């Protein structure tokens, strides 16, 4: 039996293109999952791999839909081989029924992992360059400096809970906690050996 696996990273994304390609390739049963590829925990994929039988073929639209690293991909292929099942990727035209298909699978997986590492490296370099230029990375703070000082002053009176302050300032509880933490760090002198 040809069994398909379609995955997208977020709930907002759609698997329609993958489903159409899998159906056109004669896949009889398709499992869908909406979970980031970076996550190693994929309940739908895990259940699918446990239920494969000898002679089944796991079909995916593209390699990056099933694994995010060569190590992970090879682990999945090992699980398939243990069950007597094969693997087929439609986009990369890989079929593990043949020795050439198995070799191509490993080579493409290595190149895909290399590409992801290069993207990570460029991203880190870009972030470091931005920091040197004075760019503040991350989300903007919910509270401006004046609001932070006011919230901390109210907290220190002992008449307000962190939750009450979060409601008052219309922000998340964590924003108030971070403001108090930062204020405590500034008010405590740093010891130098």
List strands edge to edge, sheet with 86-89: 29-34, 2-8, 57-60, 86-89, 94-95
Tell me what pLDDT residue 145 has: 92
101 compared with 142, residue with greater pLDDT: 142
- Check 9, 69, 75, 142 and give the catalytic one: 9
SS3 breakdown of the chain: % helix, strand, coil, rounded to 5?
55, 10, 35
Which pLDDT band, with edges at 50, 70 and 90, does 38 fall under? low
Provide the mean pLDDT of the chain: 86
Q: Identify the CATH number of the domain defined by range 2-116.
A: 3.40.50.1390
The secondary structure of 68-123 as a DSSP string is SSHHHHHHHHHHHHHHT-EEEETTTTEETTSHHHHHHHHHHHHHHHHHHHHHHHHH
Helix or strand (DSSP H, E) at 137: none
Q: Establish whether 125 is a catalytic residue.
A: no
Mean pLDDT of 149-157: 94
φ, ψ at 136 (rounded to 5°): -90, 120
Tell me the pairing of strands 29-34 and 86-89.
unpaired
Contacts 24+ apart (CB under 8 A), 93-97: 94/63
Which pLDDT band, with edges at 50, 70 and 90, does 57 fall under? very high
Give the residue among 15, 112, 1 at the shortest CA–CA distance from 48: 1
Angle 39-43-44 from CA coordinates, rounded to 5°? 110
Alpha carbon distance 176, 80 (integer Å): 50
Which pLDDT band, with edges at 50, 70 and 90, does 125 fall under? very high
Question: pLDDT above 90 covers what percent of the chain?
Answer: 45
pLDDT tens digits for range 156-189? 999 999 999 999 999 999 999 999 999 988 876 5
**Residue 189 CA to its chain's centroid (Å):** 40
Tell whether pTM > 0.85: no
């Amino acid at each position: 039996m040809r069994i398909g696996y379609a995955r997208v990273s977020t709930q907002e994304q759609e698997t329609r293109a993958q489903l159409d390609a899998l159906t056109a390739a004669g896949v009889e049963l398709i499992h869908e999952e909406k979970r980031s590829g970076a996550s190693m925990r994929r309940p739908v994929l895990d259940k699918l791999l446990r239920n494969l039988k000898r002679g089944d073929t796991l079909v995916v639209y593209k390699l990056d839909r099933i694994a995010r690293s060569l190590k992970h991909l090879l682990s999945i292929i090992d699980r398939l081989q243990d069950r007597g099942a094969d693997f087929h990727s439609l986009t990369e035209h890989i079929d593990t029924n043949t020795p050439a298909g198995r070799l191509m699978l490993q080579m493409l997986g290595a190149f895909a992992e290399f590409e992801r590492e290069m993207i990570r490296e460029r991203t880190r370099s870009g972030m470091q360059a931005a920091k040197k230029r004075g760019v503040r990375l991350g989300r903007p703070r919910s509270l401006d400096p004046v609001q932070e000082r006011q919230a901390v002053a109210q907290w220190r009176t002992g008449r307000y809970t962190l939750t009450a302050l979060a409601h008052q300032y219309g922000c998340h509880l964590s924003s108030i906690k971070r403001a108090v933490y930062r204020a405590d760090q500034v008010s405590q002198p740093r010891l130098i050996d």
